[in-house]
Amino acid sequence: MQIHVVSQGDSLFSIAGTYGTTVNALINANELDAPGQLVVGQALVIPIVGQFYFVQPGDSLYTIAQRFGISYQELARINNIPVNGSLNVGLRLYIPPGPKPEIIANAYVEPIGGTVSQAIENAARKNTPYLSYLAPFSYQVNRDGSLQAPPLNNFKAIADANNANLMMVITTLEEGAFSAELGHIVVTVQEVQNRLLDNIVNTAKEVGFTDVHFDFEFLPPEDRDAYSTFLTKAKERLSQEGILMSTALAPKVSATQEGAWYEAHDYGAHGSVADFVVLMTYEWGYSGGPAMAVSPIDQVRRVVDYALTEMPPSKILLGQNLYGYDWTLPYVEGGEYARAVSPQQAIALARQYNVPIQYDTTAQAPYFNYWDEEGKEHEVWFEDARSIQAKFDMIKELGLRGISYWKLGLAFPQNWLLLQDNFTITKAD
């Protein structure tokens, strides 16, 4: 795949000609609903095998080859140019595809209002071919250790049809929010734990879950060790049944990081006990906060760097959002919440209000501002092909186990094409 950022004057016809593809291929790959109205700054994926590189000032055949992990002799041969010849700025070179590392890809899917909408089920059908795990969110623990199941509808059949596994997500949600009191009961009361683990094992075997995923958030800080001990107990029980265990971790940058979300999550203990972990590396920009990138790569990198001091990269799934937010300015604490938007919706907004899409190179994230019909200014941050490719590059650089998406249902076609282009996805045996 190739990423092309739309410039003033670009058309699908001219872009297709540049890369030797067709207009229809561009429309289909990017699911363009208004192909005649491209937005300046919009990132398109070009559906070609390998990619093209246009020579820049100061480039040499050697530096270009080094950048793409190929020998300069092979690069010259492929492009039918002399090994020692000069390169003209703007010359188009073809770069063949390189080896693809194998990773795990997970995605949570959340029924809304206790039901699985047709749109959510369609998203699961469309995207599960790219996944190792489909994770219905969530089985909620009751205070007696029983479980409240989410609607599963056709998720098992969808997973089976696409050679994917089902992940059983266990949460301490109570009345729509994570409950510190409920979490404390679960990790400290042996009778509740025993009943809970019995129910988890029975349900996992009945439905066909191959991994049990604990997402206990906002636990009391003093329950840090108790939570780790509970996970050790759960892992021993699940291993007896041939079931994997994973956990979700708040995005910490140090072992001593303070805050209700962070303190009870012991990275070292989770990394030691769990088969793998999901780092929840998103929500720096969140609906109730000021406008900023949801998962700025500089902040994400800090979390991953810390995690790597506590566990091997082979245990880490990078958490990744499939959404952005539209904030109304000025931001007022406790005021109007931002509206969640898909990447496709964000591009449509930029097109509607005729504003170019900007790109923050520090956060590696696209954004734009617009004024609505009521004279209010908005700021939108979202994900695009460039921002997700930056995360993929980091996964490859650091040798991480894979990626975990929150959550299916928001259209981001470029992500799935680039995921397939960058990696070989582990599927069920």
Nearest to 329 by CA among 284, 289, 384: 289
Task: Determine the angle formed by the axes of helices 23-30 and 413-422, rounding to 10 degrees.
Answer: 100
Which of 38, 31, 43 shows the shortest CA–CA distance to 389?
Answer: 43
Candidates 23, 93, 29, 108; CA nearest to 59 is: 93
Closest CA to 187 of 150, 141, 149: 141
Q: Give Cα separations from 395 to 103, 196, 319, 391 (angstroms).
A: 9, 35, 11, 6
Instruction: Determine the Cα–Cα distance for residues 387 and 423; give it in Å rounded to an integer.
Output: 16
- In the block, which residue shows the tokens 């289909």? 28
For 352, the 3-state DSSP assignment is helix
**For residues 364 and 181, what is the distance between their CA atoms, to the nearest angstrom?**
38
Bridge partners, 366 (sequence order)? 359
pTM of the model: 0.95
Q: Is the bond leading into 407 cis (omega within 30 degrees of zero)? A: yes
CATH architecture, domain 102-425: Alpha-Beta Barrel (3.20)
pLDDT string in tens for the chain (429-residue length)? 899 999 999 999 999 999 999 999 999 999 999 999 999 999 999 999 999 999 999 999 999 999 999 999 999 999 999 998 889 999 999 999 988 999 999 999 998 777 899 999 999 999 999 999 999 999 999 999 999 999 999 999 999 999 999 999 999 999 999 999 999 999 999 999 999 999 999 999 999 999 999 999 999 999 999 999 999 999 999 999 999 999 999 999 999 999 999 999 999 999 999 999 999 999 999 999 999 999 999 999 999 999 999 999 999 999 999 999 999 999 999 999 999 999 999 999 999 999 999 999 999 999 999 999 999 999 999 999 999 999 999 999 999 999 999 999 999 999 999 999 999 999 987
Work out the burial of residue 88: count CB atoms within 10 Å of its CB; fewer than 13 is exposed, 13-18 middle, 19 or more buried. exposed
Find residue 379's DSSP bridge partners. 327, 369
Helix H or strand E segment including 346: helix 343-352
Tell me how far apart the alpha carbons of residues 76 and 295 are, in angstroms, rounded to a whole number: 38
Question: Which pLDDT score is estimated for 413?
Answer: 97
Calpha distance 201→238 (Å, rounded): 7
User: d(Cα 90, Cα 2) in Å, to the nearest integer?
Assistant: 16
Cα separation, 219 vs 179, in Å, equals 8
Q: Given 3-state DSSP classes, what are the helix, strand and coil percentages for the chain, each rounded to the nearest 5?
A: 35, 25, 40
If you count DSSP H runs as helices and E runs as strands, how many of each does the chain have, helices first?
14, 22
Domain boundaries of the chain, sorted by first residue = 2-95, 102-425
Structure tokens at 212: 């049990």
Which of the residues are catalytic? 217
SS3 26: helix
Label the pairing between strands 102-109 and 209-215: unpaired
2-95 CATH fold:
Membrane-bound Lytic Murein Transglycosylase D; Chain A (3.10.350)
The DSSP letter of residue 113 is T
Q: What's residue 429's pLDDT?
A: 73
pLDDT for residue 418? 97
**Cα-to-chain-centroid distance, residue 28:** 22
